[in-house]
Structure 1
Amino acid sequence: MFPQQVHSYLKQFFMENDCNILGEDACYLTVQLTIDIDKRIMNRPFYWQYVEATNGEPNPAQVTFITDHTALASNVRGEIVNFGSPRLNQLFQATRELGTFVQMFEKVEASREQIMLTPWLGVNYKVSYCCDRTKEMLYSFGLNLMTGMILEDFHEVLSKVEFDAIQSENVFHVQYIIKPIRALKRLDATIEAIIEQDNHDWAVQAKKRWQRDQRVLDFFYEDVEQKPECYEIEKKALQEQYDAKIKIEIINGGLFYMR
């Protein structure tokens, strides 16, 4: 996952959860958190217990998240967030808790003309290549439920459109032709095709490291005819450590009606 993808995800997360963006460039976001988001991600339960017990005035945090420290101006200070970092995984978890599926409509200013919105299914996937080392990638796809066209980096498209949960006046949306469940299967197939075409030398190398460590383990027990329980435990631990697995996870998604 590239820094610009992390940046886009963070911006979309905070905007959808009513957190004001106070400052931004391509390398960082400064955000005023809401009370709810502060409680979910800032790890300060004792502060909120004190505020609620004393009826004190809440002061949710204002945080700067740095998404590309290599291109950052020297005067900007904040928390570095990259793919695989605890903070980003925490935001993924918050997304799941707040709801993984939404239905949103593009906000349209009042007009005499009747405006038509087209339905899109948008899905964000996390793909993890797991062995003794882990590589994670985030993919964002949108599928037009009228034409079947698929867009990559769909989160970038969404970040440029203002949405509301309620449809604007004098606007109507067309009924989708492709059912969302069918569209989701097509997007799943798209992700699987990307994985299939990827270079999987990482799995081959993991197996080689596994075989190397297994030879070391066998060496220590080569003169033992009846292998003890600890040998089997260590052997199983090696398998769990090095066995190559690919995990595909849907982070969130929704129906988006846009012009």
Structure 2
Amino acid sequence: MYPQQVHKYLQQFFTENDCCILGDDEHYITVQLTIDMDKRIMNRPFYWQYVEATNGEPSPAQVTFITDQNRIEEKIMGEVIHFGSPRLNQLFQVTKELGAFVQMFEKVDRLETKSFLTPWLGVNYKVSYCSDQTKEMLYSFGINLMTGEVIEEFQESLNDMDLVSVISEDAFQVQYIIKPNRALQRLDTIVDDIIQQDDHIWAEEANKRWHRSQRVLEYFYEGVEHKPECYEIEKKALEEQYDPKIKVEIINGGLFYLT
């Protein structure tokens, strides 16, 4: 996920959650949080307990997120955010909590004849290659529920569209032919194929580091006939640390009716 993709995600996330965007440069964004969003992401429970107990005037935070620190010429005070950072993962989690799936319609202008909106299923996936080191990638796919056509970078294509939660009066939504569950299975298969075709030397390298650390552990307990409990604990910890794992996670998605 590139810095510009992170930036667009922040724009969409805060706009959809009614947070006012006070400043929006190409490489950083300043946002006035709502009370609800402040409670969700700013980790200020004692402040909000005090405000609610005293009926005080709430003051939700203003935050600046820097999405590409290397491209900013002037000095900007803010939090650097990038793919894989704890803050972005936190926003992904909030997205899940608030409802990972939506139904949106492309807004159309008043016309003499109705516009027909075609249904698409859009899904954003996060693929994590995990060992003692972690590599994360984001994939966005859309599948046409009439034709079965699949396009990549679907989320990016939506960013330039005017989407609303209620269909326009001069539009008509076409009933899908391919059921969303079947379409989701197809997208899952595409992601699985990407993983299968990827270079998995990272897993081989992780196993090498695992065995190297295991040899060091065995060296320290060499000649000990009855190894203590701490040996088994350390051995298990090494396995959990280095054992290669692949995690596939749906961040969000929805039905999008587009012209």
Q: Which moved more, 1:34-43 or 1:116-125?
A: 34-43
Aligned to 1:54: 54
What secondary structure, in the 3-state scheme, does the structure 2 residue paired with 1:148 have? coil
Q: Which residue number corresponds to residue 215 of structure 1?
A: 215
Describe the SS at the equivalent of 1:246. strand
> Which position in structure 1 is the counterpart of 2:70?
70
- Letter in structure 2 aligned against 1:219: Y
Residues 38-91 of structure 1, C-alpha deviations (whole Å, 9 max, x = no match):
211112223322333333333322221111111112233211101121211110
> How far did residue 204 of structure 1 move?
0.6
User: In 2, Cα distance between the equivalents of 1:46 and 1:113?
Assistant: 56
Where in structure 2 are the equivalents of 1:145-164 lying within 5 Å?
145-164=145-164
Count of aligned positions: 259
Any stretches of 5+ residues in structure 1 without a counterpart? none
Question: Take 2:55 and 2:111, find their aligned partners in 1: how far apart are those partners?
Answer: 46
Judge conservation of contact 1:8–1:155 (CA < 8 Å) in 2: no
Give the SS at the match of 1:128: strand
How much does 1:142 deviate? 1.0
Match of 1:89 in 2: 89
Tell me, yes or no, if structure 1 residue 28 matches structure 2 residue 28: yes
CA offset at residue 200 of structure 1? 1.1
The 8 Å contact of residues 214 and 238 in structure 2, kept in 1 or not, is answered as: yes
Measured on the aligned residues, the alpha-carbon RMSD in Å equals 1.5
Cα distance in 1 for partners of 2:45, 2:133 equals: 33
Call closer, same or farther: CA 1:53–1:231 in 2, change over 3 Å.
Answer: closer
Q: 1:10 maps to what in 2? A: 10
* Residues 187-198 of structure 1: pairs in structure 2 closer than 5 A: 187-198=187-198
CA distance in 1, matches of 2:228, 2:39: 49
Identity of aligned residues (%): 69
Contact kept? 1:203, 1:244, Cα under 8 Å = yes
| 1:184 aligned onto 2:190 | no
Matched, 1:239 2:231: no
| 1:47 to 1:227, Cα distance in 2 relative to 1, 3 A | closer
The TM-score normalised by the length of structure 2 is: 0.95
Q: What CA distance in whole angstroms lies between the structure 2 residues aligned with 1:212 and 1:131?
A: 14
State how far apart, in whole Å, the 2-side matches of 1:24 and 1:168 are: 29
